[in-house]
């Protein structure tokens, strides 16, 4: 599969959120979507990123954005994570890895010389028509929402 680029149609998906509700990308047609991929619930970097989106959620909403987080954790893990940090947005459970593979973020990682497969931290900004407007490869976990806004202001 070729790597996604700005201007590509965002791959469609349907999966369960943290409440067991089925969610599809099509549900958000007509809205700008911040689709962010993160490795694991309740880890330091992922928590910083999620809390940054939470803290700026209202201003993002006022600018017409919907925020969706995706990881390969299950619904129960997502629910605990969302409740612990009062996350007001959708977290999608991708346990079968269909979404991370479709977006090209299921990659080989290397920690302490040990290679393993995991989710790359990456953010896709998808416009109202389902087109990828921007891709953020180097996510600043502590300022992820500002990074999105700064990119769109350019």
Q: What is the DSSP string of 46-113?
A: HHHHHHHHHHTHHHHHHTTEEEEEEESS-HHHHHHHHHHTT--SEEEE-TT-HHHHHTT-EEEEEETT
Whether 51 is catalytic = no
- Is residue 57 included in any domain, yes or no? yes
Helix (H) or strand (E) holding 26, with range, is none
Helix (H) or strand (E) holding 37, with range, is strand 32-37
- Domain range for 42: 20-153
Q: Measured at the alpha carbon of residue 105, what is the angle toward residues 141 and 70, in degrees to the nearest 5?
A: 60
pLDDT of residue 134: 94
Average pLDDT over the chain reads 94
How far is residue 125's CA from residue 66's CA, in Å, rounded to a whole number?
Answer: 10
- Is residue 10 included in any domain, yes or no? no
- Is residue 93 included in any domain, yes or no? yes
- Is residue 136 included in any domain, yes or no? yes
- Is residue 2 included in any domain, yes or no? no
The predicted model scores a pTM of 0.95
- Is residue 59 included in any domain, yes or no? yes
Tell me how many domains the chain contains: 1
- Is residue 9 included in any domain, yes or no? no
What does the pLDDT look like over 21-78, one tens digit per residue? 999 999 998 999 999 999 999 999 999 999 999 999 999 999 899 999 999 999 999 9
Q: Are the beta carbons of 12 and 126 closer than 8 angstroms? A: no
- Is residue 1 included in any domain, yes or no? no
Domain of 127: which CATH number? 3.40.30.10
Q: Which of 4, 46, 60, 105 is catalytic?
A: 46
């Amino acid at each position: 599969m070729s790597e996604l680029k700005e201007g590509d149609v965002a791959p469609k998906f349907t999966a369960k959120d943290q409440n067991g509700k089925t969610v599809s990308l099509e549900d958000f047609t007509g809205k700008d979507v911040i689709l962010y991929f993160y490795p694991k619930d309740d880890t330091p970097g992922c928590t910083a990123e999620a809390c940054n989106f939470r803290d700026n959620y209202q201003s993002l909403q006022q600018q017409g954005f919907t925020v969706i987080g995706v990881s390969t954790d299950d619904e129960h893990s997502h629910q605990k994570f969302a409740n612990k940090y009062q996350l007001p947005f959708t977290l999608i459970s991708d346990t079968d890895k269909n979404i991370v593979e479709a977006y090209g973020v299921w990659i080989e990682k290397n920690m302490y010389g040990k290679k393993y497969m995991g989710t790359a931290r990456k953010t896709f900004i998808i416009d109202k028509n389902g087109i990828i407007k921007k891709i953020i490869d180097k996510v600043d976990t502590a300022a992820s929402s500002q990074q999105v806004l700064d990119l769109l202001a350019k």
